[in-house]
Amino acid sequence: MNIRNIAIIAHVDHGKTTLVDAFLKQTHTFQAHQQVQERVLDSNDLERERGITILAKNISVQYRDTKINIVDTPGHADFGGEVERILGMVDGALLVVDAVEGAMPQTRFVVQKALQKGLAPILVVNKIDRPAADPERVVDEVFDLLVALGADEQQLDFPVFYASALRGRAGTSVEATEAGEASITPILDGVLQYVPAPAVTEGPLQMMVANLDYDDYVGRLAVGRMHGGCIRQGQDVVLTHSGRSEVKRGKISQLYTFQGLKRVAASKVESGDIAAFSGIDFVEIGHTVNDPERPLALPAIEVDEPTLTMVFRVNDGPMSGQDGKYLTSRHLRERLWKEAQTNVALRVEDTELPEKFRVSGRGELHLSVLIETMRREGYEFCVSRPEPILKRTESGVEEPFELLVVDIPQEYMGTVMELVGERRGEMQNMQQLGEDQVRLEFSIPARGLLGFTSLFLTETRGYGIMYHTFSHYGTWAGEIPGRSSGSLVAWEAGEATAYALLNLEQRGQLFIGPGAKVYAGMVVGANSRGEDLEVNVAKKKQATNMRSAGSDDTVKLTPPRVMHLEEAIGFLAEDEYLEVTPMNLRLRKATLDRHARERQRKSS
């Protein structure tokens, strides 16, 4: 069987998942009567809500006499662990770049990973029908990027296709794409021409496990590339790992290959193809599946280290257990360690306290997606403010830096430069995008971006667009000013009243409205001053002959500020937690008792 294995790589929202949709439709993978949603590979609820790919997924299409295995990879650097392990399964890469935005920060990230694997890219300039599209500029930008990343001559001699994936059109020139019949097949022809067939070896069985899945009927599934030999249903195998000495034995129960979006049962899968199998519950990403007679481990999957860390702990607040199903440290520990097995860029560690766990990831989005996923599954827990993971070297302390790119109207340039400068960011480049639009590039400490997104959008009136990706470890940049506001902290449990909240509005910005249930130590607002302020939000108006206690029902209050998950995490102070439940996000002090907090403050 003729086989090609390719990955689709791109910056966020440049259209790679839409391109996969076009491949599936025009290769008749779907039946004519079959109704299929758009962005069919973004099957996870969070992926569809956020419009980004989080989990790498693989499918196949049959084109002419060739089976093309396609892996759709995340474009966001926070999910780089997905990108890095998947690129080891393929022999080529389709690099999709927006015809207007061009090469963006995370384009650099995914291209760098592809070049490190020795893959020669095929460039697809997508969205050529957008207003202000400039395909030739984009081709030049990609060439310059490849040169900067140290590409060899073969990688620099990349073929170029121009496409509108949404309309299902592609061609070798802009004119051919717009004038020809509506077809995406020129790109598939390019895959057959430019992507090498997988090297087939007659040696012993070698299959690298690069992904894990789960099926309600057969249990845990391992997915990987066949590097040598063939694998059969019912076969006895051993699992090896290049970084470990132990060899584990198991038996292949069910064996699958991929056809379209489905796993299809197979009796055997040969070298060069992508397969999945069940029957071995202890299989992990990075294992090599070998013949028991000739165990030869493949090189381990290398993934960049995490850069941010935060504490996950059991929710010990007064409202614990009202929303969630999974509350205990055992539940929390099992779920986090289960995540670490499949999410290879995530690191989970026990702490000296059994109810606390340290979780490290590639960025704020990487960690917040885990938090959101767990709360939807019914977990209750608290998380701390993220902190950068520091490295101590001979020259001193080093911290992670990010490449921050912002596209803004020119009138906001001074404001944004001031905001970034306060967070120890330094401008690296400036580019004029139009008459009144500029692109600014900064190098900024990762901790400087915590809580930055909402402030950036506010200051640019929603017109600003920002992207960031990990850049390097550099010398500690010094102290970064924290948030300028303190917290309004409830000093007793109860139900918030309009009367009490009306008196507090002049003190700062409120996070709750009348009728909200509060407890002592809960953060109910942001103080307009820098220090924390203990407040009573449950205070009721006293009834008199002149006024009734219920007359404050007509009070008009400013609507409370409702924060989404990332915004709430960015607001946290060092002595605060975010209480996460399936139904609520509550800010609170780490120590709920105000007398204990006062003693801690005095002792420090």
Give the 3-state secondary structure of 328-390: CHHHHHHHHHHHHHHCCCCEEEECCCCCEEEEEECCHHHHHHHHHHHHHCCECEEEECCEECC
- pLDDT of 34: 42
CA end-to-end span of the chain: 70
Q: Which CATH superfamily, name and number, covers 2-194?
A: P-loop containing nucleotide triphosphate hydrolases (3.40.50.300)
What CA–CA distance (Å, rounded) separates 459 from 416? 8
- pLDDT of 543: 57
What CA–CA distance (Å, rounded) separates 126 from 162? 6
* Mean pLDDT, residues 141-158 taken together: 91
Q: Containing H/E element for 19?
A: helix 16-26
Are 460 and 433 in contact, with CB atoms under 8 Å apart?
no
Q: Which residues of 580-601 are buried (b: 16+ CB within 10 A; e: fewer)?
A: bbbeebbbbbbbbebeebeeee
CATH 2.40.50.250 domain extents, the chain: 487-603
Q: Which of 14-28, 216-230, 547-561 has the lowest mean pLDDT?
A: 547-561
- pLDDT of 48: 42
Tens of pLDDT along 516-529?
999 999 999 999 88
Class of domain 487-603: mainly beta
What CA–CA distance (Å, rounded) separates 476 from 93? 36
Percent of the chain with pLDDT over 90: 43
pLDDT bucket at 87, cuts 50 / 70 / 90: confident
Higher pLDDT, 117 or 53: 117
* Mean pLDDT, residues 476-494 taken together: 88
CA distances from 310 to 52, 248, 370, 372 (A): 24, 34, 12, 15
Token representation of residue 437: 């639009």
- Tell whether the torsion through CA atoms of 109, 112, 117 and 118 is positive or negative: positive
3-state secondary structure 156-167: HCCCEEEEEHHH
What CA–CA distance (Å, rounded) separates 203 from 296? 10
Token representation of residue 302: 């290398």
What CA–CA distance (Å, rounded) separates 5 from 71? 8
Q: Containing H/E element for 602?
A: helix 594-603
Single-letter code of the amino acid located at 197: A
- pLDDT of 52: 41
Tens of pLDDT along 178-198?
876 778 999 999 999 999 998
3-state secondary structure 280-311: CCCCCCCCEEEECCECCCCCCCCCCCCCEEEE
Tens of pLDDT along 413-434?
999 999 999 999 999 999 887 7
Tens of pLDDT along 282-320?
888 888 999 999 888 888 777 678 889 999 999 999 999
CATH 2.40.30.10 domain extents, the chain: 206-290
Are 284 and 209 in contact, with CB atoms under 8 Å apart?
yes
CATH 3.40.50.300 domain extents, the chain: 2-194
Q: Which of 70-79, 400-409, 482-491 has the lowest mean pLDDT?
A: 70-79
Q: Which of 37-46, 227-236, 325-334 has the lowest mean pLDDT?
A: 37-46
Residue 141 main-chain phi, psi, to 5 deg: -60, -45
Q: Angle, to 10 degrees, between the axis of helix 16-26 and the axis of helix 185-194? A: 100
Does the pLDDT value for residue 56 go beyond 60? no
Does the pLDDT value for residue 275 go beyond 70? yes
The 248-251 sheet, strands edge to edge: 248-251, 236-240, 288-290, 206-215, 219-228, 274-278, 255-259, 262-265
Does the pLDDT value for residue 556 go beyond 50? yes
Burial of 571 (0-12, 13-18, 19+ CB in 10 A): buried
Q: Angle, to 10 degrees, between the axis of helix 135-148 and the axis of helix 105-116? A: 50
Does the pLDDT value for residue 279 go beyond 50? yes
Give the three-class secondary structure for 216. Answer: coil
**Considering the domain 206-290 in this protein, what is its CATH number?**
2.40.30.10
β-strands 255-259, 274-278 pairing: antiparallel
**Considering the domain 391-475 in this protein, what is its CATH number?**
3.30.70.240
Does the pLDDT value for residue 551 go beyond 60? no
DSSP string, 220-239: EEEEEEEEESEEETT-EEEE
- pLDDT of 231: 93
CATH 3.30.70.240 domain extents, the chain: 391-475
Task: Say which DSSP state 77 is in.
Answer: G
